[in-house]
Amino acid sequence: MAPRSKKDNEIIKQKRREQIIRHALESFAKHGYHRTSISEIAKAAGISKGLMYNYFDSKEDLLIGVLEFVMPQAVDTIFNSIAKKAETLTPRELMAFGIERFFEVMKDQADLWKLSMSLAMQVSDMPKIHQTFVQMFDMTFRQIEQLLKATGMPDASLKARLITAQLDGIALHYFVMGENYDLEAVKKAFIQELIS
C-alpha cells in the first residue's frame, strides 16, 4: 500500500532536515536567534514557510535541532585531533597542541560560538537549551581534566576549571574586541604560562 518506499522517505527527510539546519545556523549566527524569522530561514533554504513545521515543531525546537547537530561536531573536531596525536606526544605537548586546535576552531566557527555564548546567557525560559549547554561545557571540562591528570598534576579538577574558563574568556574578549585584540600574542602567552 505504500506509494513510496519508506527508506526513500527517510533519506529525503534527513537531507531536508540537514538542509534546513544548515541555513538556520547561518541565519541565527549572523543576526541572532530573535532577530531571525522563520520566513527568512525558509527563503534561504529555498522551501516554503509551512514546510518548516513538518520538520520542527517550533522555532525553539529548530534552535535545539541546530545546536544538537552542530555543537558536538565542534567539540569532536578538537578532541579527535588530540586523540590522534596522543601516542606520539607527551601530555604537556598534547595540551599545547590542543590549545592551538581550540583557537583554530574558535576562529573558524566564530559565528556559532558567538551565538552559543549569547544564548547561554539567556536560557532561563528554555530549559532544554540550557541543558545542552551544560552538557557541552562539562564535556570540554572533563576532557581537559583528564589531560591534566595524565601530566600528574595535583588538583587537576580545579586547574581544569581555571583553564577552560580562561579559554572561554579569551574567546569572549576576542569576539567583542575583534581586530583590536591581539589573539596571537595572548595565545602565545597563555601556552607559555601553561607549559612552564
Q: Which positions touch DNA (CB under 7 A)?
A: 1-5, 8-9, 12-13, 16, 36-40, 47-54, 57-60
Chain centroid to CA 114: how far? 10
CB 117 within 8 A of CB 137: no
Q: What angle do CA 85, 89, 91 make, to 5 degrees?
A: 105
User: Among the residues of 86-182, which ranges form H helices?
Assistant: 91-108, 110-120, 127-150, 156-177
**Binding site partner of 176, from DNA, its own copies, none, Cβ cut-off 5-8 A by kind:** its own copies
Closest CA to 103 of 169, 158, 159: 169
Q: Which residue in 6, 180, 184, 196 binds its own copies (CB under 8 A)?
A: 180
Residues 106, 113 contacting (CB under 8 angstroms): yes
Binding mask 120-159 for its own copies (x = CB under 8 A): xxx-xx----x--xx--x-----------------x--xx
Instruction: Give residues with Cβ within 8 angstroms of 69, minimum separation 6.
Output: 18, 21
User: Counting contacts by CB under 8 A, is residue 35 touching its own copies?
Assistant: yes
Q: What is the DSSP letter of 125?
A: T
Q: Which is nearer to DNA, 11 or 195 (CB)?
A: 11
User: Does position 96 bind its own copies by CB under 8 A?
Assistant: no
Q: Which of 34, 84, 85, 128 binds its own copies (CB under 8 A)?
A: 34
Binding residues for its own copies, per CB under 8 A? 30-32, 34-35, 114-115, 117-122, 124-125, 130, 133-134, 137, 155, 158-159, 161-162, 164-170, 172-173, 175-177, 180, 182, 185-186, 189-190, 193
